[in-house]
Chains A and B, each alone.
Chain A
Amino acid sequence: MPDEALARWIEVEHLHYAYPDGFEALKGIDLAVAHGEKVALVGPNGAGKSTLMLHLNGINTPAHGTVRVAGMTVDRSTVRRVRAEVGIVFQDPDDQLFSPTVFDDVAFGPLHMGIPEAEIHARVDRALAAVGMAGFERRLPHHLSLGQRKRVAIATVLSMDPSVLVLDEPSAGLDPRGRRGLIRLLLELPQTMLVSTHDMRLVAEVFPRVVVMDDGRVVADGPTDAILADDALLEAHGLERP
């Protein structure tokens, strides 16, 4: 893989998107994330963070502009391969975990990617071990704590072996212990990450780079230290220092 491609593993150019009711959620996003980079996406509710994330694996299709991931332009013909490359974890684990058992859920991705069953078992084991949930295969999602469900939700995309992890507010609603566990997990996982969050302490601890979004635009993009030190910027976009 040429260096240029690795440096622009995720590449969003002039992305515009409006919802069917006419609401313009994205007004020209430009963003590039390098392979292995961990980037936090912050900004007030309604800034367009979730809408942007849904473009990265082709759930939403851009009105204008392009999205490229791992060298593929996201469109109808590449969408299946892109989804194998980008694992999105939704905010509410009850949306992410829709199967009767933990095993079924973690196996869902690989199974629908057409991976042979013998390998699926190995992948499920690896994914659950990676999030510290080995041994929970036969458990039912609604018998797990929120922290455990969030971990399993991450495992459901790890089993697809993606190069990019996109997480929507992973620390929301977690108690301090669950949060610590999550931070350790995010630091350990080697994937390229784009994580939307309101949790500025999480940002400070895990992410070297921050992208600030407001009103459908990227309003700041830079090293975490610099952004978190810019009180005027934080104030202007309803954010706070950790």
Chain B
Amino acid sequence: MRSSASAGSSGAAAPLAADAEATDLINLDRYVERDSALHRADARFKFILAIVAIVAISLLPTASWVALAIAWAALALLSASSGLGPFRLSRGAFFALPFMLAALPLVFTRPGDIIATIPIGPVTLSISGQGLQEFATIALKSWVSVQVALLLTFTTPFHDLVDGLRALRMPRIIVSTISFMYRYLAVLSDEAGRMMRARASRSAEIDGHGGGTVVWRMRVVGGMVGSLFLRSYERSERVYAAMQSRGFQGDLKHMHGRPLDASDWTFFGTMAAGIVAFVIAGQVWLPHA
């Protein structure tokens, strides 16, 4: 993957950007290699804790500004202590912004004290204070929840997450599918990248005679997709033969995970206690609407 991307790196910048995009099209690796307590913690526990934390955050009442600020600060602290820097999660989580727009209509539809009106032709949109509060709460909750998920993926290698899912009794066929997908996405995107380079190399242009019709281009792309499918299908047969050669009989086996020790349970207990305290505080003591 890297080698093929760097092989063409002496050329011009513009087509190369497209190349890099093709080869890095699919990248599940968000793991950041560091040595920290969070990195060393057991993937199964981290996975459970992340889910629980996200549920806890989403259960917060409207306008729990203080609770959300605490959650954000705790995440920043964890992020800093795992060597990722305090603001990496906050920045990374902005990619969820477009999804927050789904909550925008609340601003106009929620009944309450009108604080502003926007006339659009014959209709008048009125913004309610409560609606605004709810929207802000939902936006902040999603932003902080995404940070929880990012912290998990930054500190846990993907294959450990997959092992974690298996240990947590996720159906085996799903886990195996994810595992193969992870292994072969890189190979496939590499193959797609090579095909796109081959096409780009032959997409020359004489002055004033560029391209071809849209229909023709679509047929080319369709052909590429088809050929990629065929190649993958053939590869799957070879992989299956390789698996059979090494004793596979239709039932995928796995090693048992590392046994949990006292330090794993200490980590889990501490974090779980923190989340429980946060839930109680958020529901009972901390200010909200």
Contact = CB atoms under 8 A, between A and B. Distances in A.
Contacts of B267: none
A133 B215 CA distance: 50
A95 B255 contact: no
A100 B246 contact: no
B244 A59 contact: yes
Contacts of B243: 98, 108
Contact of A109 (B183, B239, B246, B255): B246
B190 to A, nearest CB: 8
Nearest to B243: A98
Interface string B233-261: 00100110111111111000111100000
Contact of B242 (A90, A100, A107, A140): A90
A109 B244 CA distance: 9
Nearest to A100: B159
Interface of A: 54, 57, 59, 80, 83-84, 87-88, 90, 92, 94-101, 104, 107-109, 111-113, 117, 120, 138, 140-143, 145, 156-157, 160
A154 to B, nearest CB: 12
A100 B183 contact: yes
Interface of A is mostly: helix
Contacts of A88: 242, 245
B242 A96 contact: yes
A104 B159 contact: yes
Given A94-B187, A98-B183, A111-B255, A54 B247 contact: no
Interface string B1-14: 11100000000000
Interface size class of B (residues with CB under 8 A): 20 to 34
Nearest to B256: A117
B180 interface: yes
A118 to B, nearest CB: 11
Contacts of A83: 244-247
Contact of B248 (A57, A112, A120): A112
A-B pairs with the 8 shortest C-beta distances?
A112-B247, A100-B159, A109-B246, A142-B186, A95-B238, A88-B245, A113-B247, A94-B187
Given A104-B159, A111-B254, A142-B186, A95 B242 contact: yes
A112 B249 contact: yes
Contacts of B268: none
B179 interface: yes
Interface string B183-222: 1101100100000000000000000000000000000000
14 contacts: A59-B245, A83-B246, A87-B246, A90-B241, A96-B242, A101-B159, A104-B159, A104-B255, A108-B246, A108-B247, A113-B247, A120-B255, A140-B29, A157-B246
Contacts of A96: 242
Contacts of B247: 80, 83-84, 108-109, 112-113, 160
Contacts of A59: 241, 244-245
Interface of B: 1-3, 29, 157-159, 162, 179-180, 182-184, 186-187, 190, 235, 238-239, 241-249, 253-256
Contacts of A87: 245-246
Contacts of B2: 143
Contact of B246 (A94, A101, A112, A143): A112
Contacts of B159: 100-101, 104, 140
A95 B235 contact: yes
A123 B9 CA distance: 41
Contact of B253 (A54, A112, A145): A112
Contacts of A99: 179, 183
A104 B29 CA distance: 18
Contacts of A141: 183
A54 B241 CA distance: 9
A198 to B, nearest CB: 19
Contacts of B238: 90, 92, 95
Contacts of B242: 88, 90, 95-96, 98
A98 B239 CA distance: 7
Contacts of A100: 158-159, 162, 179, 182-183
Contacts of A107: 255
